Amino acid sequence: MKKIQIISLFMISIFAFPASAYDCSQIVCDCSCPTCTCHNYAGKSFAIKNDNLYNHLRGRIIITPQNNGETYYISATEKKLYYLGDYSQALKVMQGLGTGANSETLKKVGTGYGRLNGYDSDKDGLPDDFESLIGTNIGTFNTDGDRYSDKIEIDNNYNPNKGDGKRMLMSNNLKGRIFLQVDRKGEAWYMNPLDEKKYLLKTQDDMSNLINKFALGISNYDLGRLLK
């Protein structure tokens, strides 16, 4: 796993306060608390009580390098923290938190990706299966007929289906949410608030890419502040 840069949310030295600086017993949880033994409780949720931190971090995936690198998802729609477990468990947890959206809605959001595999009919760098998900034409490298390939437009956050020259922006009410593509096979997409692109959550590799690239490292102390 990549080295994670840890930040302090209160401009303090994050290592100045060990995990014992807050009282785990004050957190109502069947498995003690997030910095203790939650390894068998993937999907377990914890109530978030710190409004300021929640508003700052809502929708983010966080990781605790001080405590074996446990990962969590801070819900964008409810004040809860979800323990994700390993990559395989995390994929199932995130998929299970999705709500329905149709393909036309998802087309309006830029697309990111990790590893791309599969046959590429038009040789534009995007596999056919991936193009069918995002609505581009698998028979041409340039769906909207402008000067740029579908992949170049996606990489630069333009709409490959509409050559209007405008960058795609994600509205605040979508950031950090998880959607299921209901008019297909219910594929899950994570609306990443950092680069304002959606990321497919279909395989364990998709989940590991998301965590390794975008998870925010925080201290045990700040994690405790989030929950009380």
Residues in the chain: 228
Strand partners, 63: 71, 217
Q: What number is the average pLDDT over the span 65-70?
A: 86
Output the pLDDT for position 3: 45
For the segment 50-72, the average pLDDT, to the nearest whole number, is 93
Reduced to 3 states, what is the DSSP secondary structure of residue 71?
Answer: strand
> 9 near 218, Cβ under 8 Å?
yes
**Residue 117 pLDDT:** 87
Distance CA 217, CA 228 (A): 19
Question: Considering Cα of 200, then 59, then 108, then 194, what sign does the dihedral take?
Answer: negative
Strands (DSSP E) contained in the chain are 6-7, 45-47, 61-64, 70-74, 80-83, 99-101, 110-111, 178-181, 187-192, 197-201, 216-218
Which amino acid appears at position 211 of this protein?
I
The token pair at 60 is 């983010």
Q: How many CA atoms lie within 13 A of 125 on its CB side?
A: 12
- Classify 78 as helix, strand or coil: coil
Confidence of residue 116 (pLDDT cuts 50, 70, 90): confident
Q: How many CB atoms lie within 10 A of CB 84?
A: 25
**What per-residue confidence (pLDDT) applies to 22?**
32
Res 19 pLDDT > 50: no
Q: What is the pLDDT of residues 142-157, one digit of tens each?
A: 988 888 999 999 999 8
Q: Band the pLDDT of 6: cuts 50, 70, 90.
A: very low
SS3 assignment for 9-45: CCCCCHHHCCHHHCCHHHCCCCCCCCCCCCCCCCCCE
Which pTM does this prediction carry? 0.80
Give tens-digit pLDDT for 200-216.
Answer: 999 999 999 999 999 99
Q: What are phi and psi of 18, to 5 degrees?
A: -70, 175
Encode pLDDT of 144-194 as tens digits: 888 899 999 999 988 888 877 788 889 899 999 999 999 988 999 999 999
Q: Which residues of 142-179 are buried (b: 16+ CB within 10 A; e: fewer)?
A: bbbeeebbbbbbbbebbbbbebeeeebebeeebbbbbb
Cβ atoms within 10 Å, residue 100? 11
With cut-offs at 50, 70 and 90, classify the pLDDT of residue 16. Answer: very low
Beta-bridge partner residues of 74: 81
> What's the confidence (pLDDT) of residue 34?
58
CA distance 205 to 78: 27
The pLDDT of residue 100: 96
